[in-house]
Structure 1
Amino acid sequence: MRMQLFLLQGVGILLDGLFGTGNGSSVSIENAGLLALTRVGSRRVVQISAGFMIFFSILGKFGAVFASIPAPIFAALYCVFFAYVGSAGLGFLQFCNLNSFRTKFILGFSVFMGFSVPQYFNEYTSVAGFGPVHTRARWFNDMVNVLFSSKAFVGGIVAYVLDNTLHRHDGAVRKDRGYHWWDKFRSYRTDTRSEEFYSLPFNLNKFFPSV
């Protein structure tokens, strides 16, 4: 079963490397962490690594070598990968004005709610056997309880709502939000490297333009 998942993930990553798709297999923690660690952002690397995954999954003896790697090794790698991903997210704050009370409030409140709300949901579920949202629609209960049990979701949604509601139309606030830095990336034609990064392979960009 593990080898089959390995094969399917390899096929998915191979398609990601070809077309640059933004789905789950291309934006995983492993890929983001490896990109930050090696600083290699070429599609060719992704395509070759996907080929290795498919090759090792077909030949069981080779794949068994990787499947036998102890779990603590993977745990150590994930510690490094998550560190890079977390620091990359915090790195975006450098373009905001951290001396602004508005920025400090949004950052502090979203982080606090991101820790406290999921903790409440998890403890409530462990004691009562079901989540705080408990209606007759089980699918709705599962959807809401799972979402609000995620620290990243709660913190992100709180920060998003506050950032788009608290004095967002003020000129000074726009600069505090870091929009003056992101403006140059809002247009596809602003950066000359966009065509190289986002164009499809095999001259498919003629039939499916990037913009």
Structure 2
Amino acid sequence: MKPTKISRDEKQIQTRNQLIEAGFHLISEQGYSAVSIRNLSKKAGYTQGAFYSNFEHKEDFLLTLMKIQFEQENLQLQKIITQTHLMQSDLMAALEQWFIDFFQNDEWLKISIELQLYAARDEIFSNEYQQVWQTHQAQVSEVLQQLIPNFSAAESAQHEYKLLEIISLSYGLALQYMIFKDDVHKYVNIMMQQLTQIMPAR
């Protein structure tokens, strides 16, 4: 039986996905300094020409990694929070498990550190990084707002600020856990306490 022939577009999507997967592993294992287009293409099993067929430059590739990870986080949280049938205890348990998984995602956390350091050194990349991060914050905040009933404009603004604070805190605590590798629940409990303060009984 002859193998199914894939289309040109399908082939390009496959190549792009394999480059992205290779990028995640390469940065996690060896750090940002190992991410040259040559090394990246080699790890994925492609030529540098294949890289440039999918990405304009290395910075475009790095921002794509960020967007993919952030999109996954947003979708996961949205799925949990929109399960309106869940009792309060079940909802909190689902959110707690999400935080545990997030804190234990070493590969992404290592990449996050590398990208932040690169953004601190490169002004152009920093501007792009900030835009992607701020968009992510706004999207997660919008998802988490569904946990909070309608308030006055002043109260809503206060809660929005608190949610942004929680999002930043989650990354800070996750990075701390990655370094110390002690009790993950200690860090997760801090996040759950922060959420509980702004959530009504369900």
Alignment TM-score, normalising by the size of structure 2: 0.28
User: Which structure carries more relative contact order (alpha carbon 8 Å, separation 6+)?
Assistant: 2
Q: Which one has a bigger Cα radius of gyration?
A: 1
What TM-score results when the alignment is normalised by the length of structure 1? 0.27
